[in-house]
Amino acid sequence: MKRLFSFLTMCLITAGSLFSQNNMTTKFFDGKDLAILGKAFDTPHLYGRLPAHLEGKIREQLWYLGRNSAGIALRFSSNTTAVTLKWSVLNNFSMNHMPATGIKGLDLYVNEGDGWNYAGTAKPVGKSSEAVVIKNMERRVREYLIYLPLYDGAEKIEVGVDNDSDFNPKPENLMFSREKRVIFYGTSITQGGCASRPGMAYPSIFSRLSGVETINLGFSGNGRLDLEIAKEISRADFDVLFMDCLPNCTAQIVRDSAELFIKTIREQKPTAKIVLVENPKFPYLVLDKKTFSELDEENREWKALYLKLKKSDKHIYYIPGDKILGDDSETTVDGVHYTDLGFMRAANELYKHYKKIVKN
Residue 60 or 179 with smaller CB distance to a second copy: 60
Residues 243-302 that bind a second copy (CB under 8 A): 247-250, 252, 283-284, 286-291, 294-295
- Least distance from a second copy to the Cβ atom of residue 241, Å: 20
The answer to the question of residue 135 lying near a second copy (CB under 8 A) is yes
Taking alpha carbons only, the member of 239, 323, 320, 309 closest to residue 278 is: 320
From candidates 333, 351, 353, 354, binder to a second copy by CB under 8 A? 333
Instruction: Find out whether 118 and 146 touch, Cβ atoms under 8 Å.
Output: no
Residue 194 or 230 with smaller CB distance to a second copy: 194
Residues 3-42 that bind a second copy (CB under 8 A): 3-9, 11
Count of residues in contact with a second copy, rule CB under 8 A: 76
Residue 31 or 105 with smaller CB distance to a second copy: 105
**CB-based contacts of 88, cutoff 8 Å, min separation 6:** 127, 128, 129, 154, 155, 156
Distance CA(304)–CA(299), nearest Å, equals 8
Distance CA(233)–CA(268), nearest Å, equals 9
Helices (H), 211-311: 227-235, 251-253, 259-268, 289-310
Residues 174-233 that bind a second copy (CB under 8 A): 187-189, 193-194, 196-197, 200, 205, 220-222, 224
Candidates 28-36, 168-176, 326-334, 351-359; binding stretch for a second copy (CB under 8 A): 326-334
Instruction: Find out whether 107 and 197 touch, Cβ atoms under 8 Å.
Output: yes
From candidates 25, 79, 165, 329, binder to a second copy by CB under 8 A? 329
**Cα 167 from chain centroid?**
26
From candidates 71, 124, 198, 203, binder to a second copy by CB under 8 A? 124
Residue 104 or 315 with smaller CB distance to a second copy: 104
Distance CA(23)–CA(132), nearest Å, equals 9
From candidates 34, 134, 212, 274, binder to a second copy by CB under 8 A? 134
Taking alpha carbons only, the member of 141, 210, 217 closest to residue 176 is: 210
Residue 55 or 330 with smaller CB distance to a second copy: 330
From candidates 48, 105, 153, 218, binder to a second copy by CB under 8 A? 105
- Least distance from a second copy to the Cβ atom of residue 287, Å: 5
Residues 52-71 that bind a second copy (CB under 8 A): 61, 64
Distance CA(71)–CA(37), nearest Å, equals 8
The answer to the question of residue 1 lying near a second copy (CB under 8 A) is yes
**CB-based contacts of 185, cutoff 8 Å, min separation 6:** 217, 218, 223, 229, 233, 241, 242, 243, 244, 245
- Least distance from a second copy to the Cβ atom of residue 248, Å: 5
* Other C-beta atoms lying within 10 Å of the C-beta of residue 22: 18
Residue 240 or 253 with smaller CB distance to a second copy: 253
- Least distance from a second copy to the Cβ atom of residue 32, Å: 26
Residues 138-177 that bind a second copy (CB under 8 A): 138, 151
Strands (E), the chain: 26-30, 35-37, 73-78, 83-89, 106-111, 116-122, 128-134, 142-147, 154-162, 167-168, 177-186, 212-218, 240-244, 273-277, 316-319
- Least distance from a second copy to the Cβ atom of residue 60, Å: 11
